[in-house]
Amino acid sequence: MKTFFDGKKKVIGMVHLLPLPANAAYKGNKDEIVQFALEDAKTLIDCGVDAIMLENFNDWPQYADEIPWESYTLMTAVASKIRDFCPIPFGVNIEMNAWHQEWIMAWAVNADFIRLEAFVDNRGGSFGYIPACSTPLSKVMKDYPSEILLFTDVHTQETYGNPDVPINELAHNAIGHDSDAIIVTENDKNQRITIADVKAMREEIGDFPIIVGSGVKPHNVLDYLEYADAVIVGRGFKTGDRIDPKLVREFMDIVHTKY
């Protein structure tokens, strides 16, 4: 799995779980949660994305660094089911920054990567304070070794830095703490990352992998991929709450005109 970044540009499609148990929006619909997630994963695979990532996107309000065990156990069960049939790289992300639970889930189901929203920068938001996790995570990784890749955010969206460190400086810090790829969603002005921002990061960190985590659309994906190694697409692949195969295929066709 360490060969994820092999020179080919990647599109990572998101499987967004419906609100999970112990969440205020949970509707008692356990079977529907599982069914929709499995169907969305299969649609993304069939439509040609390069990787998929499972996320508790619809849980609200979010927890800072650990979700309730009722949520965690069902999400782990879904992750295991997807892993059983998924022929492409598969990752998990537990919002906001449940680093311990993420690593153990990925380790248990043999996932290929995790996303960490606060790796080397301390962040805060409506859900509370999130301390950087690179140091405590290293101990868990030692106790439960795996080839799981770390995709790590700098300036993750809808949060504020404490202190507020520039994204390119954080990128260097993440590389020094064994990140496998940098995810960028917001720039130094807490605005959506621009193509110019990604270009500047590329010039700063050389050929280290960069993933654009939001704001990628059919009309700009080729411009982002000129400087980034991968993009993450979630809501852009949806009609309503479900993955729309037409949107996925159209997006992938655009990517494949150049990459």
Residue 21: which CATH number?
3.20.20.70
Residue-by-residue DSSP string for 9-61: -EEEEEEEPPPPTTSTT--S-HHHHHHHHHHHHHHHHHTT-SEEEEE-TT-SS
Helix axis angle for 69-85 and 30-46, nearest 10°, is 30
What is the predicted pLDDT for the residue at 170? Answer: 98
Residue type, 107: W
153 occurs within a structural domain: yes
Give the structural domain span for 112: 10-256
**Tally of domains in the chain:** 1
Q: 115 with 103: CB under 8 angstroms?
A: no
* pLDDT (tens digit per residue) in 113-162: 999 999 999 999 888 999 999 999 999 999 999 999 999 999 999 899 99
* Lookup: tokens for 242: 């479900």
59 occurs within a structural domain: yes
What 101-104 contacts at long range (C-beta under 8 Å, 24+ apart), as own/partner pairs, is: 101/66, 101/67, 101/72, 103/137, 103/140, 103/141, 103/144, 103/146, 103/148, 104/140, 104/144
Residues linked to residue 55 through DSSP beta bridges, in sequence order:
16, 93
Nearest in space to 78 (alpha carbons), one of 21, 138, 127, 133 = 21
Averaged pLDDT score across all residues of the chain: 96
What is the predicted pLDDT for the residue at 3? Answer: 79
Share of the chain above pLDDT 90, in %: 95
* pLDDT (tens digit per residue) in 40-97: 999 999 999 999 999 999 998 889 999 999 999 999 999 999 999 999 999 999 999 9
Question: E strands of the chain, at which residues?
Answer: 10-16, 51-55, 90-93, 113-116, 123-125, 128-130, 149-154, 160-161, 181-184, 210-212, 230-233, 238-239, 242-243
The residues, any chain, with a CB within 8 Å of residue 176's CB and separated by 6 or more, are none
What is the predicted pLDDT for the residue at 66? Answer: 96
What is the predicted pLDDT for the residue at 2? Answer: 62
What is the predicted pLDDT for the residue at 130? Answer: 94
Q: What is the DSSP letter of 194?
A: P
d(CA 183, CA 214): 9
16 occurs within a structural domain: yes
pTM score: 0.97
What is the predicted pLDDT for the residue at 127? Answer: 84
The arithmetic mean of pLDDT across residues 224-246, rounded, is 97
Whether the pLDDT of residue 199 is over 80: the answer is yes
3 occurs within a structural domain: no
176 occurs within a structural domain: yes
The arithmetic mean of pLDDT across residues 169-190, rounded, is 97
* pLDDT band per the 50, 70, 90 thresholds, residue 240: very high
42 occurs within a structural domain: yes
